[in-house]
Amino acid sequence: MLRNILPILFCAIFLGACNNNPENEPKGKIITYEESDENIPNPERGLYSQTYYTSADLTNYANANGINNLRKSSYKMTLVLHSYYLTDYMDCDISQEFLSRLDSNMNALRNGGGKVILRFSYKYDYSSTGQPWDATPEWIHKHIDQIAPYLQKHSDVILCVQCGLIGVWGEWYYTTNFKMNPTTDEDFEPRWQVLEHLLRAVPESRQVALRTPSFKMRYLKMRGMEGALTEEEAFQPTNKARICGHNDCFVSSSTDVGTYNGKADRAFWAEDTKYTMMGGETCEKCSASNGANALQEMAKYHWTYLNRDYRESVTNMWRTDGTMDTIMRRLGYRLYLEKTILVTKKPKAGQEFKVYFKLHNRGFAAPVNKRDVELIFVSATDASKKFVYPQTSVDPRFWLPGEHTFTLAFNLDANMEGQYKVYLNLPDPYESLHNDPRYSIRLADENMWDETTGYNYLTTINVQ
């Protein structure tokens, strides 16, 4: 009798091991895939290279070949940060030559397969360049109006815009024309007017980053976690959903050199960055800079991008101890498809086709900007015969780190018969980039990526 009871007790305790279908997966043909450990040059994530463009040197332009070469480097970068210094325009309009360079640089990004983090400011040094450190509010608003058409025109290649404009480096501290240590609502109001003007200038599809969590909390009159963005509020065209953050003193002290005022700030950013973009750079080496802590902080605050070089004392330490390899793979999203299940075992033309997906995000964050999801069927005998099925029931922006399962169902075309290769495509939704494979997401799986199309191969089926 005891021998009969023990297996039952074992199953009761370890139910998953005895349940034929512990995850309630649908029945069908199971296809499994092998995970890759490659550092993948995926769009809108990863390390970035920074370039400064000054008003004193208007001969410095971005180069499409140079941007494309970043993708081929050992860092596999698809991002750049362009810092534009408007030093010579503090009390006058931005010259057309400067604006033309901005336009040209954006075109180079598109041709080179990259995207940009943008920041505009007036001074790059608080000690040697002298005051004023920034323009007056009146001139800043005029300059935003001049820049706005280019932000709208090139929104497809913008990852996000850092608010900048106020203070040295655009970090909202060493400032001449705004109160350096604001405390009252009246003190902050000129800053909020700049923020709101920039939010109107930047396309609704893109987020604007503030330097600290307290700035967003103060602007939206929040107190701690009670105001953090929720899933229902995420990715709406509201200021709350569009304001993200950047930390330019990452793991550089117990407070990240004033980035955090306390536990409430940290709790807010940990929650808010589930649905808003986070990135930046280090600025000082300290005990908090160790690799293990850096990885924990990036996971907690959902990091998408990081300066490749600054500060070298920290990034070189991470290269030496192996942390940088992990950072490069996990910044932003890293989507591994574990399995698909063909619920429709015998696909028929004109009838419903259903497929189940089990996917894991191994990264620190979900994709933050909107992305299309398509299932594509290409004839195995005639590649020109292709059927594209856009899927709107899933949104990759909600694929936070962890496991995700979903089922896609749709009717196959009535003229579709024969053998077809099935692909998952995650392209950029902008028409200008949609068919460029450099802007499609590559899954972290072996033997799946088609670099000529940007499609991820799933399986081959016979349609009756």
Name the token pair of 146. Answer: 């001049």
User: What is the pLDDT averaged over residues 67-94?
Assistant: 97
Closest CA to 234 of 429, 366, 401, 397: 397
User: What is the pLDDT averaged over residues 327-355?
Assistant: 98
- Strand 79-85 versus strand 115-121 pairing type: parallel
Q: Report d(CA 335, CA 319) in Å as an integer.
A: 24
pLDDT tier, 305 (very low <50, low <70, confident <90, very high otherwise): very high
User: What is the pLDDT averaged over residues 409-438?
Assistant: 98
Q: Report d(CA 312, CA 325) in Å as an integer.
A: 15
Closest CA to 443 of 348, 356, 339, 364: 339
User: Residue holding tokens 């009969």?
Assistant: 4
- b or e along 64-90 (b: 16 or more beta carbons within 10 Å of the residue's beta carbon)? beebbebbeeebbbbbbbbbbbbeebb
pLDDT value of position 108: 98
pLDDT value of position 128: 84
pTM, two decimal places = 0.94
222 has a pLDDT exceeding 90: no
Closest CA to 328 of 293, 300, 363, 365: 363
Angle between helices 96-112 and 64-72 (to 10 degrees): 40
| Backbone angles phi and psi of 319, in degrees to 5 | -70, -35
Closest CA to 206 of 160, 266, 264: 160
User: What is the pLDDT averaged over residues 244-262?
Assistant: 97
pLDDT value of position 21: 52
Domain ranges of the chain: 22-37+335-463, 46-330
pLDDT value of position 214: 96
Residue 440 identity (one-letter amino acid): S
pLDDT value of position 10: 35
The CATH classification number of 22-37+335-463 equals 2.60.40.770
Q: Residues for the chain: how many in total?
A: 464
Give the CATH fold of the 46-330 domain: TIM Barrel (3.20.20)
User: What is the pLDDT averaged over residues 213-231?
Assistant: 89
160 has a pLDDT exceeding 90: yes
11 has a pLDDT exceeding 60: no
pLDDT tier, 6 (very low <50, low <70, confident <90, very high otherwise): very low
Q: In whole angstroms, how far apart are CA 137 and each of 28, 145, 220, 291?
A: 63, 13, 21, 41
User: What is the pLDDT averaged over residues 65-72?
Assistant: 97
Burial of 290 (0-12, 13-18, 19+ CB in 10 A): middle
Q: Report d(CA 279, CA 298) in Å as an integer.
A: 9
Better pLDDT: 363 or 22: 363
CB 229, CB 270: distance < 8 Å: no
Give the count of beta carbons closer than 10 Å to the beta carbon of residue 31.
14
Peptide bond into 132 cis (omega under 30): yes
5 has a pLDDT exceeding 70: no
pLDDT value of position 23: 65
pLDDT tier, 129 (very low <50, low <70, confident <90, very high otherwise): confident
pLDDT tier, 223 (very low <50, low <70, confident <90, very high otherwise): confident
pLDDT value of position 15: 34
Closest CA to 252 of 313, 305, 300: 313
pLDDT value of position 225: 72
Give the strand order in the sheet containing 449-450.
386-390, 374-379, 418-425, 455-463, 449-450
Burial of 111 (0-12, 13-18, 19+ CB in 10 A): middle
Q: In whole angstroms, how far apart are CA 256 and each of 5, 262, 361, 365?
A: 58, 11, 27, 20
CB 86, CB 120: distance < 8 Å: yes
pLDDT, tens digit (0-9, with 9 covering 90-100), for 13-45: 333 333 345 468 999 999 999 999 999 999 999
261 has a pLDDT exceeding 80: yes
